[in-house]
Amino acid sequence: MTNPKASRWFAAGIVVCLGAVGAALVSQHVFDMQPCPWCVLQRLIFVVIAAACLLGLLWRGRVGRSVAAVLALLAAAGGVAAAVWQNQVAAQTESCVQTLADKIMNATGLDGLLPDVFQARASCIDAAVDLFGVPYEFYSLALYVVLGAGAVAMLRRG
């Protein structure tokens, strides 16, 4: 059973997530804002949310939408945690080598497969930058909150 509102939400989720990764890549490759391990982990989380949204588009019906929304919500919660940790802890330390973010990225192998996207190239303290006076990771945090709220709304609708 097709739900047009659900399809629009899942499609918007994909666009927002891929747009966030695209903005991060422009920041890195055009403006030389090199990513730290927590930065690239957040990129991966956006890709995971986009994949959950794609699942929601492809797996029609209540169960498929619910599974996709739960996956998106869990990933968004992980993204919120990663962004807060980056701001409150990682950005205050000289070295962020072999943190949880490093371990996750190393386990995926994506840093080797797609180094231009997923390879950390700066320490957390060096990667701590502001954009228009706001810490860069707060933009990710805001998107994770919006995506999580959308997933909750999807779950409430059934």
**Has residue 157 been placed in a domain?**
no
Whether pLDDT at 40 is above 60 = yes
**Has residue 64 been placed in a domain?**
yes
**Has residue 116 been placed in a domain?**
yes
Estimate the share of the chain in helix, then strand, then coil, as percent rounded to the nearest 5.
75, 5, 20
Residues 78, 72: Cα–Cα separation, whole Å: 10
pTM assigned to the model: 0.93
Whether pLDDT at 130 is above 80 = yes
**Has residue 158 been placed in a domain?**
no
CATH number at residue 10: 1.20.1550.10
The tally of domains found in the chain comes to 1
Whether pLDDT at 1 is above 60 = no
Report which of 22, 35, 42 is spatially closest to residue 115, judged by C-alpha positions. 35
Q: Which domain holds residue 98?
A: 4-152
**Has residue 39 been placed in a domain?**
yes
Residues 124, 122: Cα–Cα separation, whole Å: 6
Q: Which residues contact 66 (CB under 8 A, 6 or more apart)?
A: 154, 155, 158
pLDDT tens-digit map of 71-113? 999 999 999 999 999 999 877 776 666 789 999 999 999 999 9
**Has residue 133 been placed in a domain?**
yes
pLDDT tens-digit map of 46-75? 999 999 999 999 998 899 999 999 999 999
Whether pLDDT at 5 is above 90 = no
Average pLDDT, the chain: 92
